[in-house]
Structure 1
Amino acid sequence: MKFFSLFGRLKSVVIGMVHVKALPTPLSSMKMSEITEEACREAEIYSDAGVQDGLIIENMHDIPYIFSVGPEVTACMTVVCSAVRNQCPFLPLGVQILSSANHQALAVALASLDFIRAEGFVFSHVADEGLLNACAGELLRYRKQIGAEHVHVFTDIKKKHSHALTSDVSIAETARAAEFFLSDGLIITGSATGVQADPQQLKVSESVKIPVLIGSGVTYENVEDYMEANAMIIGSHFKKDGHWPNAVDPQRVKRFMKKVQELRQ
């Protein structure tokens, strides 16, 4: 599987979140050199604390989010991601650009990364930022056009912070639609950042043949419920006091990774 070739395992991969400080957006207050240095510092903390499976870099602090992300954000994310890649030359790295800037994420990933997290892949959603339409056809055509077919596209289904316009379509049906539209893996989340995903939704793996990842709410206390997932993307729990805007807490990461290693055995 492509997933195994990237991460070296098929189950319980742990992907840490690097939340990039605000870029040229309303909350911006740092120089690019400082933003890049902070992202590299977080990546180093993760690595030293035992996260060796992968990292995903995200512009989480660019509040309020918009769909029409400007070239300045793409350029800045490229700088940050390239710096983290230079620091972690062999670690699987991904990127997500909020909100739903999937084409821009692919462009950034083309330079030096391995995967992206894409929102709004199939079916339409009403999100905080407005109406989010499906993008699979355009996104994968773009991936082909720029020669980025090596970049995995992991896709949120029933996306958090939004309401699906197709509430009559089950999560299993949504998963099958994403698989049919060539998703490289499905991401299941809770209703918002840090909110626990329903462990029962992992059963969607019985409906598809592509990887299923958990995209929110995994903690030290509930990680047993998600060990059968192909991967767990973790941000909030790894921060001080479990709150995503805070700094990465090395002790929380170490404690979590120690438990994961024990559960894997």
Structure 2
Amino acid sequence: MKNLMKNNKLIIGMVHFPPLPGSPEFNDDKNLSNILDSVTSDIDSLQSNGIDSIMFGNEGDRPYLLKASPESLSAMAYIIGLVKNKIKIPFGVNYLWDPIATVALGSICNANFVREVFTGVYDSDMGLWNPDAAQAIRLRKNLNRSDLKVLFNVNAEFASPLGNRSTAEKAESAVFSSLADGICVSGVITGKSVNSQDLKETKDKLIDTPVFANTGVNIDNIEEMLSICDGCVIGSSLKYDGITWNNIDPKRVKKFMDKVNNIRK
């Protein structure tokens, strides 16, 4: 993770894809043109206002799948290929909620990192959720992308874990047993804040592994979050009106990054 962590307290800005082909809310009339326009706009708004890194995610593909559909996965790869020459900073990908597809997508798009739920068993909105870290990490090796950093989301949104281990215990175990390069600690759903005590306990156990606040980060809590962990993933609060489904508001990005840079001093 050293190349990604060149900046003190890494900030990863989300580029949320609108609904992709195969999704119930995909706009058939516009084909992929509106998706390309949306993604391009968000990249420009984030990069031009000082974000450290970006991550592409298929947030619009509701209801979410535990196994990727060929239509949406191929469309996501196609769009990333079209905008690749615009990306000037490190980037990652996340196909919700399929770790195998995420590693495949990140590998073929030459991403710097991926994020997904790789370990554990969950009672989720999508049904019983049982990811396979072993196959995902082996796929990374088989695709000759051992340099692709893997961020493990260890307390998945839209779900409750089976078992009674703490978030910190699961994170420590994932690093030991499943080769996690970094850990993401989440709130209950997209846009909801991380439990700061969970975040602190996780970082206390993982001194040498980057830990990120994965959801609900905003300009009001960023100082607290960065006092605890190594960085954050931010999406909804940088959107127009703070609404997840809107595009990135460049003014919000600038204001947020100005505060981050003051914290870094």
Q: TM-score over 0.5 for the alignment?
A: yes
Identity %: 30
Residue identity in the other structure for 2:204: E
Aligned equivalents of 2:249, 2:153: Cα separation in 1: 26
Aligned equivalents of 1:66, 1:134: Cα separation in 2: 12
Unaligned segments of structure 2, at least 5 residues: none
Residue identity in the other structure for 1:238: L
Deviation at 1:145, TM superposition (A): 1.2
Residue identity in the other structure for 2:48: D
Deviation at 1:249, TM superposition (A): 1.1
Given candidates 68, 90, 93, the residue that maps to 1:92 is 90
Counterparts of residues 202-213 of structure 1 (less than 5 Å)? 202-203=199-200, 204-208=202-206, 209-213=208-212
SS where residue 227 of structure 1 aligns? helix
> In 2, are the aligned partners of 1:106 and 1:148 still within 8 Å (CA)?
no
Residue identity in the other structure for 1:109: G
Given candidates 154, 158, 169, the residue that maps to 1:157 is 154
For 1:238, the equivalent position in structure 2 comes to 238
For 2:124, the equivalent position in structure 1 comes to 127
SS where residue 192 of structure 2 aligns? coil
After superposition, the C-alpha distances for 1:62-112 in whole angstroms (9 at most, x for unaligned) are: 111111221121111111222332111x311111111x2111121111122
For 1:222, the equivalent position in structure 2 comes to 221
SS where residue 102 of structure 2 aligns? helix
Residue identity in the other structure for 2:77: T
> In 2, are the aligned partners of 1:19 and 1:60 still within 8 Å (CA)?
yes
For 1:65, the equivalent position in structure 2 comes to 64
Residue identity in the other structure for 1:186: I
Deviation at 1:7, TM superposition (A): 3.7
> In 1, are the aligned partners of 2:17 and 2:56 still within 8 Å (CA)?
yes
Residue identity in the other structure for 1:83: L
SS where residue 3 of structure 2 aligns? helix
Matched, 1:199 2:176: no
Aligned equivalents of 2:34, 2:171: Cα separation in 1: 40
Given candidates 111, 114, 129, the residue that maps to 1:113 is 111
Deviation at 1:135, TM superposition (A): 1.5
Aligned equivalents of 2:81, 2:230: Cα separation in 1: 26
Deviation at 1:140, TM superposition (A): 0.6
TM-score (normalizing by structure 2): 0.93
- State the Cα RMSD in Å: 1.3
Aligned equivalents of 2:233, 2:161: Cα separation in 1: 22
Deviation at 1:37, TM superposition (A): 2.7
- Which ranges of 4 or more aligned residues in structure 1 deviate by more than 4 Å? none
After superposition, the C-alpha distances for 1:24-64 in whole angstroms (9 at most, x for unaligned) are: 1110113223312320121011111221x100001111111
SS where residue 4 of structure 1 aligns? coil
Deviation at 1:190, TM superposition (A): 0.9
Unaligned segments of structure 1, at least 5 residues: none
Aligned equivalents of 1:43, 1:115: Cα separation in 2: 17
